[in-house]
Chain A
Amino acid sequence: MTHSEPLLQLEGINKAFSGVPALTDASLTVSAGEIHALIGQNGAGKSTLIKVLTGAYRRDSGVIRFGGAEVDFASPQAAQLGGISTIYQEVNLIPYLSLSENIFLGRERRRGPFLDWGRMNREARTLLERFDVQADVTRPLMGLSVAVQQMVAIARAVSIDSRLVIMDEPTSSLDDREVETLFGVIRQLGASGVAVVFVSHRLDELYAVCSGVTIMRDGRTVERRAMTDISKLELVASMLGKEPGELRREGETAFVKNHNQKGEELLEVRGVRSGPALRSASLDVRKGEIVGLAGLLGSGRTETARVVFGADALAGGEIKIAGQPATLRSPADAIRAGFGFCSEDRKIEGIVPDQSVRENLTLALLPELSRRGIVDAAKQNEIVERFIRRLGIKTTGPDQKIRELSGGNQQKVLLARWLCMNPKLLILDEPTRGIDVGAKGEIQALLSELAAGGLGVLMISSELEELAEGCDRVVVMRDGSSVAELTGDGLTQDHLMGVMAHGAAQAVPAAPQGGIQNHV
């Protein structure tokens, strides 16, 4: 594909935060109608570059040309008026307003002085149909799944007549079918001449939808290539700054399976129910075992984890801990039983953003760190320092606010929050979602190591390679019920996909060793 004048051109962009350079001579070029990938590890400078472009940050130096003219947007609003809209990773909508109100917020359709609801609802419905979203547009947003909310955010951005749409990890909360729908829309955009800058950590997606790619590392633009010219391995190597040979030796993940004898039963879950999304889930976790919980979005994985941790009320079924029937009324009960839980959404349910790394890391441990309610500061510091070193958390120190850390490092702090309690069982909901390849590998390796040391892990993941390589067994959920369990040679990405899509009955016949067992 050849394009004449690029639509967007950023050149020689420099930006430093209190003397620490975040961008050094960064560049980005996107042609009209091009779907362009922007990749790099967390902290490589992608977000900073986007924020410089949209006017959220002032650049120290450099030139931005858009549509043939030099531009200098003072704010994201100005950029939006200029034809650049951005969809951020976290959904930025108003939960109490209806779908059409959200879509038309700030540019409501009017008839004279009155709002033209009929027209807005009609247009919203047509717009959402393009995204295969079938929902009552007059209903408030908050009752809907994150995926639908994300689609609404994208629909909103698309409906503003933009010449460039920036998507910052738009697929992180979508299931496969929804991702396909989104890609359809992205291709439509491209065909109509709108350029898309697509930020994602999922490499397969880049190959599926992008034509060009810009790779960033350490605040610099290290490469700009056509997607067809670069292999997945080269891509990862370039992001990490390593030679391809170094990577080939490893599997797709950093998990190391240990084939030790598994220990005694930690957790036994039989037919638990809770709300409409969880109808019947059964699973076991033994000491030293990583058990995966697979399923599409909305299959009841997260609900199962929450019930086991006492965060949601149990409507039926049985939970046994170490062989004893247990009643978990609150997370505090589960914590006393030696459980820890990292939820799916770091920002909403994990970090306390304004607090330091130290306070976040020791939040659950505090009662044990204190005598008569007074925190033992020396002991606290000792533990915090130890875990910062042990997990390689990149921070300026224990006093740094956690919201200033990259996603991967925030996740490490949250893991440390539980690890410092010496837990028996860790429940992890998407522990590596939205974090860079480096931190992801470190966390995967850490989990393997901890399991080898006797920790039980129940891990929800949407990444098949993570489940297949990391887990000893995987329980597959479908429509609120656990439908199958995959072990040994039966635990492959293909089988997982088959069971997730079709249920166990029609899936591949059981492999000789281990295999697929139907749940009754």
Chain B
Amino acid sequence: MSEGTTTPPLRPPAPAKQGSHRRSIPLLGPLLALLALLLFNIFFTPNFLTAQTLNVNLTQVATIVIVGVGMTLVIATAGIDLSVGALMAIAGALAPMLFLNPPLGSPALGVALAFVLPVLAAGAFGMFNGLLVTRFQIQPFIATLVLFIAGRGIAQVLTNGQLQTFSNTSFQVIGLGRPFGIPVQVILMLVVVALFAWVMARTVFGRQILAVGGNERAARLSGVPVNRVKLAVYGISGLLSGIAGLIVISINSSSDANQVGLNMELDAIAAVAVGGTALTGGRATIVGTLLGALIIQLIRYSLLARGVPDAAALVVKAGIILLAVYVQRQRR
């Protein structure tokens, strides 16, 4: 380049900011909020610092986090997935059918299939969402509303509307197992969070998700396979919903198509929003979603521990979400 035409720097070179410093800022808010909640409970809630309290809270939050991770990916592409709760119900309806009537009379095979097939089915339904969004260009809100409505119906048809109760220790490991005292679903939750935090940070797929959400037209012109990326995030959201569905029915020792995953889409979206992911797409933090879910869970726990009725706790929860999203907007 000819230096002759180069103009002098417009401003003095700004002090080089460390990347890690800049990136840590978005999670600062949720982290501080979580810390404040923890401190509050440590001082004011009796028996808070016990393994049991920890386990109760983590067990309750695990499914929200697992579904929330899938939701984070979908929202990062500027989409939304309303069908997650219904997909949980479908997976929850399929699994008992498999291990209660094991194919080939093999209980082991029945349990193995009960872990795999319902999750794959939920994933396939997720891909169906993706197909509506990409091939048929339907807005994500409407596209996933289809299964939000129909999915629970499908689950009821599968079970003839009957409540399925069961006791099957090998299947219920996913909800009740505690290797080294740690609930299996908590381990699953941490694995899912770690895996997808890594996917977002290190893989081409993760980068392309953010590019699609940040500027779809620019992504397409840069050769990003926009439709494939979208199809994949809805599929992943479905798979993770399926896993969450299995956890819920094994905790309950029963599967009720009317109840499994009810309102899960709202809890998951709330966790994503509180965690600092932009609902407009293009910015996403998986760890933020984990923190968001923990914050909501701790608030609910703190209120219940003080004898505030669950109904009132819901109102407070909504208020906190509002506050969190407001704070996010301010920081922008």
Residues in chain B near residue A222, CB distance under 8 A = none
Do B10 and A355 have beta carbons less than 8 Å apart? Answer: no
Interface residues of B in 79-111 (CB under 8 A from A): none
A375→B204 contact, CB < 8 A? yes
CB of B205 within 8 A of chain A?
yes
Specify the chain A residue showing the minimal Cβ separation from B9: A394
User: Looking at the complex, which of B13-21, B314-322, B323-331 is the stretch in contact with chain A?
Assistant: B13-21
Min Cβ gap B328→A in Å is 13
- Which residues 1-36 of B have a CB within 8 angstroms of A? 1-2, 4-17, 19, 22-23
**In chain A, residues 1-57, which have Cβ atoms closer than 8 Å to a Cβ of chain B?**
20-22, 41-44
Most buried by B among A22, A250, A366, A397: A366
- Closest B-chain residue to A396, C-beta based? B14
User: In the complex, which residues of chain B have a beta carbon less than 8 angstroms from the beta carbon of A20?
Assistant: 11-12, 14
Chain A 390-404 against B: per-residue CB contact (8 Å), 1 yes, 0 no? 111010111110000
Whether A101 is near chain B, meaning CB under 8 Å from some CB there, is no
Q: Is the pair A363, B219 in contact by a Cβ cutoff of 8 Å?
A: yes
A509 at the interface (CB under 8 A from B): no
Interface size on A, residues (CB 8 A): 61
**Given A332-B225, A374-B202, A399-B23, residue A445 in contact with residue B5 (CB < 8 A):** yes
- CB contacts (< 8 Å) of A437 on chain B: these are 7
Please, what's the 1-or-0 string for A252-279, where 1 marks a CB less than 8 Å from any CB in chain B?
Answer: 0010000000000000000000000000
Q: Are A445 and B211 in contact (CB under 8 A)?
A: no
In the assembled complex, B137 has its CB within 8 A of some CB on chain A: no
Residues of A within 8 A of B282 (CB): 352-355
The answer, yes or no, to whether B153 is at the interface (CB within 8 Å) is no
CB contacts (< 8 Å) of A41 on chain B: these are: 7, 10
Q: How far is the CB of B145 from chain A (nearest CB, A)?
A: 21
- Tell whether B208 is near chain A: CB-to-CB under 8 Å: yes
B221 pairs with A331, CB closer than 8 A: yes
Contacts A20-B12, A352-B282, A377-B202 given; does A417 touch B7 at CB 8 Å? no
Whether A438 and B203, one on each chain, are in contact in the complex, defined by CB atoms closer than 8 angstroms, is no
- Decide if A295 is an interface residue (CB 8 Å cutoff): no
Tell whether A240 is near chain B: CB-to-CB under 8 Å: yes
Contact residues in B for A332 (Cβ distance below 8 Å) = 223, 225
Contact (Cβ within 8 A) B17 A396: yes
Considering the complex, give the chain A residue whose CB is closest to the CB of B23. A399
Say whether A399 contacts B17, CB under 8 Å: yes
Closest residue of chain B to A417 (Cβ to Cβ) is: B222
Q: Establish whether residues A441 and B220, one from each chain, have CB atoms under 8 Å apart when the complex forms.
A: no
Interchain CB contact under 8 A, B5 and A364:
no
* CB nearest to A367 among chain B residues: B204
Determine whether the beta carbon of B220 is less than 8 Å from that of A442. Answer: no
- A373 with B10: CB separation less than 8 A: no
Known interface pairs A254-B2, A359-B207. Does A331 touch B7 (Cβ–Cβ under 8 Å)?
A: no
Q: Is there contact, CB below 8 Å, between A445 and B1?
A: yes
The answer to whether A442 and B19 touch (CB under 8 A), given A331-B221, A366-B208, A373-B203, is no
Contacts of B278 in A (CB 8 A): 354
CA of A231 to CA of B302, assembled, Å: 73
Query: Is A370's CB under 8 angstroms from B204's CB?
Result: yes
Q: List chain A residues, Cβ under 8 A from B207.
A: 359, 363, 366, 375
Binary interface encoding of chain B residues 273-289 relative to chain A, with 1 for a CB under 8 A from any of its CBs, else 0: 00000100011000000
A335 within 8 A of B: yes
| Cβ-closest chain B residue relative to A366 | B204
**Closest chain B CB from A340 CB (angstroms):** 9
B214 touching A370 by the CB < 8 A rule?
no
CB distance from A250 to the nearest CB of B (A): 7
The residues in A between 322 and 345 inclusive whose CB is less than 8 angstroms from any CB of B are: 330-332, 335, 341, 343
Query: Whole-angstrom distance from the CB of A240 to the nearest CB of chain B?
Result: 5
A355's partner among B1, B210, B223 (CB-CB below 8 A) is: B210
- B108-164 residues with Cβ-Cβ distance < 8 A to A are none
B264 to chain A, nearest CB (A): 28
- Which residues of A sit under 8 angstroms from B178, Cβ to Cβ? none
A146 close to B (CB within 8 Å) = no
Q: Taking the complex as formed, is A241 at the interface, i.e. its CB lies under 8 A from any CB of chain B? A: yes
Q: Which residue of A lies closest to B281 (CB)?
A: A354
Q: Find out whether the CB atom of B218 lies under 8 angstroms from the CB atom of A331.
A: no
A352 touches B214 (CB 8 A): yes
Closest chain A residue, CB of each to CB of B220 = A331
- Given that A250-B5, A309-B221, A331-B223 are contacting pairs, would A363 and B211 also be in contact in the complex, using a CB cutoff of 8 Å? yes
| Complex CA distance for A244 and B332, rounded to whole angstroms | 43
Top 4 nearest A-B pairs by Cβ distance? A438-B7, A43-B10, A399-B19, A441-B5
Q: List 27 A-B contacts (CB under 8 A).
A: A41-B7, A41-B10, A42-B10, A218-B11, A240-B7, A250-B5, A254-B2, A330-B223, A331-B221, A348-B218, A349-B217, A349-B218, A352-B215, A352-B282, A353-B214, A355-B211, A355-B214, A369-B204, A370-B203, A374-B204, A390-B1, A397-B19, A436-B7, A438-B5, A441-B6, A442-B1, A446-B1
Q: A331-B221, A331-B222, A374-B203 are in contact. List 11 more A-B contacts (CB 8 A).
A: A41-B10, A43-B11, A332-B223, A352-B219, A355-B210, A359-B207, A392-B6, A397-B17, A398-B19, A438-B7, A439-B7
